[in-house]
Chains A and B, each alone.
Chain A
């Protein structure tokens, strides 16, 4: 279309989206890097202290603990959600009644608020009234009963089943639609060559949807770094920071200890770490894909 006659329209049409997006997503990220240089309690004067906050973060054992926990989440997502979803997708990509029903069931947690998911699992894990310990007891496995969320050695691992449970549906649907896009002839040719089910999966289906798997891995990483609600509801980062994530560490520093500058510095660290992780994963998976 002719540009000159529509110039005003172009500017006018882009402006609202650009303004809202810049003001509420982009500027805050820049700002928090800037606030990170200040010592500020939220009220009164902010004092410039240079890179002190950033140095303190790097020396804070809680930060390293949070980072490690975030990595555990990322690993659980990449090596838990993706393979489970892939296997389920292969089993469920045809459309009979039972398969459709299971598909919908597995996807259902995706439409619920993380608050509700966290609360349901909190009840499942409850040491006295929780159905998990009750189940173990009725199976005669009393010695397996644990304080799932308040034992600081296992609490972080107790958070993984709800994490995996709630997101498998998303990857399942993504993989199913990718599998359905593989042309039928490819499978026919493989059948003539005598390839078995597993063989077909490893040498045909997986390579053919590798691009989709890559996207899923990026989603896993950014999704796991975003997990805040689940942990905030279930453990608030405790006991004794055992389940602290970068996001809860940021939240607690800012809104519990009222250290706005320090919290902003953590926010900046989160952005840097997630961009680094996504970059690395892109690099790793695209190399593997070329082989």
Chain B
């Protein structure tokens, strides 16, 4: 009995560790290869770098104009995040705490958005952006990122707000606070856990997006990180160390953010997914 159990548990561990290695190895390979010269890269693809080419990183940073790409990604991600958080919180507050006609319809209208594939809107959005002269501006990314983040954000936030007891409002009305006061001073601070979930989900989504940036941005000075990296790899196809260094730099922020906020990221993903 005991030995069967032992065999079984060693099979479990073998599967787990095997899968773990398969998952981790590509990252490990990416990072060590970023330090290699081309010859090293060809001749010993699995080995550690012969001598560590730190200058791959500085060269990649400069030739891929990663500084600009970083700034652009930061501007559009934070921009759409700020807009999303504020207007989603307002809408969720109303949808969760007030009774009015059309409430169900409006909620359903937002929820359907979660099922619409992003790419099916690329062509019409491109035409729309062109007509209202938004192509090649930050708004061309901020507005669609916000629009596509809203359904999940409203869903997660309003579910959370519905769980707050009713007395809170009555108490603050008796104290003479208006609706805006209630929203800004009471509801917003209380919904911090849900807001942080929404923050992580929307930030990751806009920081990593490729398709909207590909279609709406053609100006080099406005390119975001994923777009910049993809173009750079096309242009420097044969300098592998350099390209991989660029890729490594581009993943550092999200990986660090993930390592710090791991628990919250996982909770956020679950909340977004289970509710979605």
Q: Which residue of A lies closest to B247 (CB)?
A: A116
Would you call B50 an interface residue if the criterion is a C-beta within 8 Å of the partner chain's C-beta atoms?
A: no
Of the A-B pairs whose beta carbons lie under 8 Å apart in the complex, a sample of 14, sorted by A's number, is A24-B143, A27-B124, A84-B19, A91-B12, A105-B24, A113-B208, A120-B247, A121-B26, A219-B273, A219-B276, A232-B210, A263-B123, A267-B122, A270-B117
Known interface pairs A9-B94, A28-B121, A42-B127; 6 further A-B residue pairs with C-beta atoms within 8 A, sorted by A's residue number: A29-B121, A113-B225, A123-B244, A215-B276, A222-B117, A278-B115
CB atoms of B91 and A264 under 8 A apart: no
Cα A251 to Cα B214 with chains together (Å) = 11
Which B residues are closer than 8 A to A by beta carbons?
A: 8, 12, 15-17, 19-20, 22-24, 26-27, 29-30, 33, 41-42, 45-46, 83, 87-88, 90-91, 93-95, 97-100, 106, 109-110, 113-128, 143-144, 146-148, 150-151, 154, 169, 179-180, 183, 204, 207-211, 214-215, 225-227, 229-230, 233, 240, 243-244, 247, 250-251, 254-255, 257-258, 262, 265-266, 269-270, 273-274, 276
A-chain residues with CB within 8 Å of residue B16 when the two chains form the complex: 88, 91-92, 98, 102
* A1-22 near B? 1/0 per residue, CB < 8 Å: 1010011011001101110110
CB atoms of A17 and B274 under 8 A apart: no
Cα A255 to Cα B26 with chains together (Å) = 32
CB atoms of A268 and B120 under 8 A apart: yes
CB atoms of A129 and B45 under 8 A apart: yes
CB atoms of A88 and B19 under 8 A apart: yes
CB distance from A94 to the nearest CB of B (A): 12
CB atoms of B98 and A6 under 8 A apart: yes
Q: Which residue of B lies closest to A33 (CB)?
A: B124
Q: Which of A20, A29, A105 contacts B143 (CB 8 A)?
A: A20
CB atoms of A24 and B179 under 8 A apart: no
CB distance from A251 to the nearest CB of B (A): 7
For chain A, residues 118 to 144, give those with C-beta under 8 angstroms from any C-beta of chain B. Answer: 119-121, 123-124, 129, 131, 134-135
Q: Given A113-B225, A264-B124, is A29 in contact with B116 using a C-beta cutoff of 8 Å? A: yes
CB atoms of B150 and A17 under 8 A apart: yes
CB atoms of B226 and A113 under 8 A apart: yes
A-chain residues with CB within 8 Å of residue B95 when the two chains form the complex: 14
Cα A113 to Cα B208 with chains together (Å) = 4
CB atoms of B117 and A264 under 8 A apart: no
Cα A239 to Cα B165 with chains together (Å) = 59
* A230-270 near B? 1/0 per residue, CB < 8 Å: 00110000000000001100110011000010011001101
CB atoms of A28 and B128 under 8 A apart: yes
Would you call A35 an interface residue if the criterion is a C-beta within 8 Å of the partner chain's C-beta atoms?
A: yes
CB atoms of B124 and A29 under 8 A apart: yes
B-chain residues with CB within 8 Å of residue A229 when the two chains form the complex: 210-211
Main secondary structure of the interface of B (DSSP, over half): helix
CB atoms of A177 and B226 under 8 A apart: no
CB atoms of B269 and A228 under 8 A apart: no
B-chain residues with CB within 8 Å of residue A20 when the two chains form the complex: 83, 87, 143, 146-147, 150
CB atoms of A233 and B274 under 8 A apart: no
Q: Given A108-B258, A129-B240, is A251 in contact with B124 using a C-beta cutoff of 8 Å? A: no
Cα A232 to Cα B29 with chains together (Å) = 23
CB atoms of B250 and A116 under 8 A apart: yes
Would you call A115 an interface residue if the criterion is a C-beta within 8 Å of the partner chain's C-beta atoms?
A: yes
A-chain residues with CB within 8 Å of residue B114 when the two chains form the complex: 222
Cα A31 to Cα B124 with chains together (Å) = 6
Cα A289 to Cα B40 with chains together (Å) = 55
